[in-house]
């Protein structure tokens, strides 16, 4: 396992920028890493990425020293185990609604003494061919990045207790799912949803954890930096489509 540059930057108070991709393509990851992303998130929740795909995508990210992170489908230890064993250096977990659920995430990511993750000679551990298991466990516990999503009204209510859970690194806002939870699906700008987001920003700002968000463009990224977000992501499509549209319009003019 390599040192986690993204986690180190966050600890140093820096802002990190990443890209979500949902397509199971190591080649696409490799191409993306030639830009100055801090991290790439492999979206297994809203994409078709399986553990084997993730393992190859992790290899591709490592070529240029970009931090490989995976978003799993659900907060279940066996699911988390398989994706983390691929060598991913961080984990996004959706729909975390309580401190006990946040604790379960940490327990699934970390080895003893903080967690209960199963230990084996997998790729994350260099196939047990370099160094001792003891050294690997210590290093993995230290370097793994834990990101949980706040996406429901219940989670917003429980957030003051959630942020107390030891081992969390980033609290990630999910505006679209929040809109659904508050009864205004597809309306993240609704005043009720915005009030909930304001509450998340306030609580996280006092916690010492990093605030995370997905944006649609560079202007939104700048706005969220001003609000205190330091873990900022954008979807691959949000980068690709404006560039493609601008090219076609210019080429045809």
Burial 215-246 (b: 16+ CB within 10 A, else e): beeeebbeebeeeebbbbbbbbebbeeeeeee
Whether 92 is a known active-site residue: answer: no
Which one of the listed residues 46, 138, 149, 180 is annotated catalytic?
46
Active site residues: 46
């Amino acid at each position: 396992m390599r040192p986690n540059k993204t986690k180190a930057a966050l600890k140093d108070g820096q802002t990190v920028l990443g890209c979500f991709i949902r397509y199971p393509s190591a080649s696409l990851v490799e191409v993306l890493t030639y830009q100055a992303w801090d991290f790439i998130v492999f979206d297994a929740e809203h994409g078709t990425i399986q553990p084997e795909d993730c393992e190859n995508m992790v290899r591709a990210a490592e070529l240029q020293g970009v931090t490989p992170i995976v978003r799993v489908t659900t907060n279940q230890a066996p699911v988390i185990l398989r994706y983390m064993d691929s060598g991913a250096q961080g984990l996004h977990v959706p729909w975390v609604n309580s401190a006990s659920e946040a604790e379960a995430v940490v327990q699934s990511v970390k080895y003893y003494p903080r967690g209960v993750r199963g230990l084996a000679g997998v790729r994350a551990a260099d196939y047990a061919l370099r160094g001792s298991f003891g050294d690997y466990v210590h290093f993995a516990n230290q370097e793994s990045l834990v990101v949980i999503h706040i996406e429901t009204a219940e989670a917003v209510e429980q957030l003051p207790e959630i942020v107390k859970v030891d081992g969390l690194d980033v609290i990630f806002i999910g505006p679209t799912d929040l809109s659904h939870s508050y009864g205004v699906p597809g309306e993240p700008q609704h005043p009720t949803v915005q009030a909930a987001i304001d509450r998340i920003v306030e609580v996280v700002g006092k916690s010492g954890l990093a605030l995370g968000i997905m944006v649609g463009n560079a202007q939104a990224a700048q706005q969220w930096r001003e609000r205190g977000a330091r873990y900022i992501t954008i979807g691959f499509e949000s980068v690709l489509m404006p560039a493609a549209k601008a090219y076609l319009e210019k080429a045809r003019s």
